[in-house]
Amino acid sequence: MTDVAVRTPAQRVRAWLPAYGVYVAIVVLLLFNIAFTENFLAWSNLRIQLIQVAPVVIVALGMALVIGTEGIDLSVGSVMALAAAFIPLYLGYGVVAAILVALIAGVAVGAVNGLLVARVGLQPIVATLALLVAGRGLALVVSDSQLREIRNPGLVELGSGSLFGLPYLVWIALALVLTVAFVVRRTVFGRRLLAIGGNRPAAELAGVPVGRVLVTVYVVSGTLAAVAGVLAVARIQASDASAVGVLIELSAITAVVVGGTPLSGGRVRVWGTVAGALLMQLVVATMIKHDLPSSTAEMVQAVIILVAVYAARERRSR
Amino acid sequence: MTLLEVAGVSKTFPGVRALDDVSFALQPGEVHALVGENGAGKSTLIKVLTGVYQPDDGAVRYRGEPVSFGTPLDAQRAGISTIYQEVNLVPLMSVARNLFLGREPRNALGLVDERRMNREAADVLTRYGVRTDVRRQLGTLALGAQQMVALARAVMVDAKVVIMDEPTSSLEPREVETLFGVIRDLHAQGIGIVYVSHRLDELYQICDRVTILRDGRVVHTGPLEELERIRLVSLMLGRDMAEVRREGVTGFTGEHEVQGAQPVLRAAGLRNRHKLHGVDLAVRPGEVVGLGGLLGAGRSETLKAIGGALPLDEGTVEVAGAPLRRRTSVGAVKAGIALLPEDRKAEGIVPSLSVRENIALAVLPRLSRLGLVSEKKIDTIVERFMTRLRIKASSPHQRVGDLSGGNQQKVLLARLLATAPKVLLLDEPTRGIDVGAKAEVQALVDELAAEGLGVVLVSSDAEELIEGADRVVVLRDGVVVGTLDGADVSTEGLLRTIAAASSAAASAATQEEAS
């Protein structure tokens, strides 16, 4: 019962590791690649890496917010598929209209998730699992299970064009990262979200509108997933509801966890999440460049997840 | 032979000398009180005794032999059991399962012998005054009953030493009596007991010797009987005796001046199916109204109902004449009602957030524009309340989960006060916090009443209720059974009112609480 917390050096390392270990790992991997991988620093290579990681980052941002409330959103991949499925149907009304419809689909799924969690009181994992199944099913119905090519010049430009040498996709991801980081740090919504994740009954008694905040969090996650879905369509110049966003929920959760956001809620590390996604991307890229099978990359990723979770064990003894 | 002894033990954490040359000896069959304010070193000493910490210096001897427990489990195996303030059991498992966890009786097939386990569990618990179906989930029991299960479990493992850290903090008087009965039994069996508590009455009732710690040092050790109460408090606080005498037992100064005749809070006909059966309550500005009654009488429920945290079947709540329309916590906070919950850990603090974020939580809308919070405004308000309530933290950015109980409570009070409430509902505001913080909190309640707030105070500490409240409304089974006013506000008056009326109803009520 000391008044001021006192930490031993070992405890300090344990507090530091889950938060910043991911950056150390990235630096180590970058140095390794710069030294041993041919053409690693070539712009064409870096550009591809960034394009590939962008959708995971976008989805992981929403996931980080949901996890911050001690929840989880498994439906993000299906939301991507649903958004992708709506694009070709509404392209006839123009690019903007098609994108808008896709985003509204994301908002709608997010709202249903949020209402199931906040009002009906379902466990987040169950509620969003239901939407994972239903969402992809709906996407297949909407698209008639057909792969549709996209030739709309606007969308193609969005998926492959650049500004100041950096692809639009990366700019969009960056803008969203900055926005979410700002929201978490500076807004009432951000603080309330963390309070709910840290201690929901306490937040409730303190007059936090818990239901409204939770619904908003899931809507944000759904919307971000829809954005990722639109960008995926734009990049591959096709809408394939059966393939878009499959298993991305796992990549997103991995990025969040590796980035040092605890699954127990109450804390969100936005930049850590970005770093987590980059680290996983780098691992795969490194393996491929060195002619190792992708199964090796998966095993390395698994080890990283275990290390991250191990390091993040909360000091429960307190 | 001395049962458990530490000699010249020191323990230093970076920046803090938690224990400084501390010696302590426990004889068989002795109930030894260990007292001190927060940060005095009680917890550290217990952790040294139970193998959580290794001392930097000095020796621990158990039954004459030098020992060094590497882990709490080692200490437990050797016969040193500890019961912590918070119940350390599995709420989703049955009572019997919890009792026998890790030592379940087996049948011939090596499977758990449920029938025998349940039978034995029921036998054991009856001795502890817990009469319940042992197949029920532990979490569905009242806190007091859970505490008894924890105690039974601790003693059952063939303990020679039992360390109790605030064992009565969640018990009602009748359960405390049962606990003391158990302690006397243990005493007769030659088991040594280390008893940590902030409640002086209990210490004098049950303990033989006392060791007082202050700032990591032993300032007194000896038979308790010979030590005057007032001297015990002054040793603990390190304050001048005359000063303590002048201040009385609690931090309250006495009567408050009621300002204006119109009640700032008026609750009428509060009904909730099982818990409340038509409670009426009115509080005027500047008045402190105490809610008296036994555990389960509906005191906490009344506060929660007013604070919008308990759904009501019927009833109205008015703040300064304006009825509350939306019956939610959000609505209540907006209307100027601030509720300090009974369970600080579960419903109060957000441990992962900083002191600053915790204080600002309820007032975020007021400290922001267009949804963006103003760090400057938060800093101002946080600084104001950290100074006013003397919150001890290394910085406003320290995690609340790392603070002592007293400081956590102050952070919660700061959160409530930051909302500039008209009505303050305090549910056990000084439970489990040290004497110093307790006096500070009590003085604060006086101050707030003087500023014109209406205060409703629930406390199982009779002294606190009597000295703090101008009026005490006594509840039983969710109904008001009496009101003490003026000179009637006394311990005797309170007990008389609680004990009055049909004893049959009272005993039925206590049975219900036990189950």
CATH classification at residue B46: 3.40.50.300
Contact B13 A2 (CB under 8 A): yes
Number of domains present in the structure of chain B = 2
Q: Do B141 and B43 share a structural domain?
A: yes
Beta-carbon contacts of A114 under 8 Å, excluding residues fewer than 6 positions away, are A214, A215, A216, A217, A218, A219
Distance CA B10, CA B58 (A): 6
What part of B 365-384 touches A (C-beta under 8 Å)?
365, 368, 371-373
Reference B198, options B359, B365, B38; nearest CA is B38
Residue of A nearest to B309 (CA): A205
B258: tokens are 């009621």
Return the pLDDT at B85.
64
Q: Please check whether residues B152 and B277 belong to one and the same domain.
A: no
Same domain, B62 and B126: yes
Q: Show the domain range for B98.
A: 4-245
Judged on CB neighbours under 10 Å (0-12, 13-18, 19+), B221 is: middle
User: What is the Cα–Cα distance from B384 to B490, expressed in whole angstroms?
Assistant: 36
Cα separation, A225 vs A221, whole angstroms: 6
pLDDT, one tens digit per residue, over A249-305 is 999 999 999 998 988 889 999 999 999 999 999 988 888 888 888 788 888 888 888
Residues B126 and B35 in one domain: yes
A53/A274 Cα distance (integer angstroms)? 9
Whether B214 is in a domain gets the answer: yes
Cβ–Cβ of B341/A191 closer than 8 Å? no
Chain B residues with beta carbon closer than 8 angstroms to that of A204: 309, 329
Say whether the ipTM exceeds 0.95: no
What whole-number distance in Å separates Cα of residue B237 and Cα of residue B241?
A: 10
> Both B181 and B295 in a single domain?
no
Nearest residue of A to residue B341, measured between CA atoms? A205
Domain membership of residue B28 (yes or no) is yes
Partner residue opposite B352 with nearest CB, options A8, A189, A266: A266
CA proximity to A213, closest of A183, A258, A252, A179:
A183
Is residue B368 a contact partner of residue B376, using CB atoms and an 8 Å limit?
no
Longest CA–CA span in chain B (Å) reads 75
Task: Please give the span between the terminal C-alpha atoms of chain A, in angstroms, as a whole number.
Answer: 10
Mean pLDDT of chain B: 83
Is B137 in the same domain as B218? Answer: yes
CA dist., res. A47 & res. B283, Å (int): 68
Q: Is B380 within a domain?
A: no
B270 and B132 part of one domain = no
Mutant choice from B45, B364, B366, B386 vs A, greatest count of A C-beta within 10 A = B364
What's the pLDDT band for B113 if we cut at 50, 70, 90?
A: confident
pTM for the model: 0.72
Question: pLDDT per residue over B275-295, tens digit each?
Answer: 888 899 999 998 999 998 766
- The answer to whether residue B403 sits within a structural domain is no
Which of B 412-471 lie inside 8 A of A, CB atoms?
415, 419, 434
Q: Count the helix, strand and coil residues of chain B and give each as a percent rounded to the nearest 5.
A: 40, 25, 35
pLDDT in tens, A123-181: 999 999 999 999 999 999 998 888 888 888 888 888 888 899 889 999 999 999 999 99
Last-in-domain residue among B216, B245, B274 = B245
- Asked whether residue B196 is assigned to any structural domain, the reply reads yes
pLDDT digits (tens, 9 = 90+) for B145-195: 787 888 888 877 778 999 988 787 667 777 788 888 888 888 888 899 999
Instruction: Find out whether B107 and B113 touch, Cβ atoms under 8 Å.
Output: yes
Out of B181, B214, B245, pick the residue that ends a domain. B245
Interface check for B36 against chain A (CB to CB < 8 A): the answer is no
Model pLDDT, residue B69: 87
Task: Give the end-to-end CA distance of chain B in Å, rounded to a whole number.
Answer: 41
pLDDT at B240 over 70: no
Task: For B421-487, give the DSSP string.
Answer: -SEEEEESTTTT--HHHHHHHHHHHHHHHHTT-EEEEE-S-HHHHHHH-SEEEEEETTEEEEEEEGG
DSSP, res A194: H
Based on the fold, state whether residues B223 and B306 are members of the same structural domain. Answer: no
B417-432 pLDDT, tens digit per residue, is 999 999 999 998 988 7
For residue A72, the model assigns a pLDDT of: 95
Q: Is the pLDDT of residue B74 over 60?
A: yes
For the record, the structure tokens of A165 come out as 């040498």
User: Do B353 and A266 count as a contact with CB atoms less than 8 A apart?
Assistant: yes
**Are residues B447 and B325 part of one domain?**
yes
| Residue B344 included in any domain | no
Do B307 and B240 sit in the same domain of this protein?
no
Neighbouring C-alpha atoms within 13 Å toward the C-beta of A186: 11
E-only strand ranges, chain A: 148-149, 162-163, 166-167, 238-239
Does domain A18-29+42-311 bear CATH number 1.10.10?
A: no
Q: Report in angstroms the alpha-carbon separations of B475 from B40, B497, B501, B504.
A: 37, 9, 12, 16
Question: Do the Cβ atoms of B372 and A208 come within 8 Å?
Answer: no
- Mean pLDDT across the stretch B238-255? 57
Reduce the DSSP state of residue B270 to 3 states and report it.
Answer: strand
Which ranges of B207-311 does DSSP label H, i.e. alpha helix? 229-237, 241-247, 299-306
In a shared domain, residues B155 and B296:
no
Distance, in Å, from the CA atom of B280 to the CA atom of B474, rounded to the nearest integer, reads 11
Residues A153-165 as b/e (b if ≥16 CB within 10 A, e otherwise) read ebbeebbeeeeee
Do B311 and B187 share a structural domain?
Answer: no
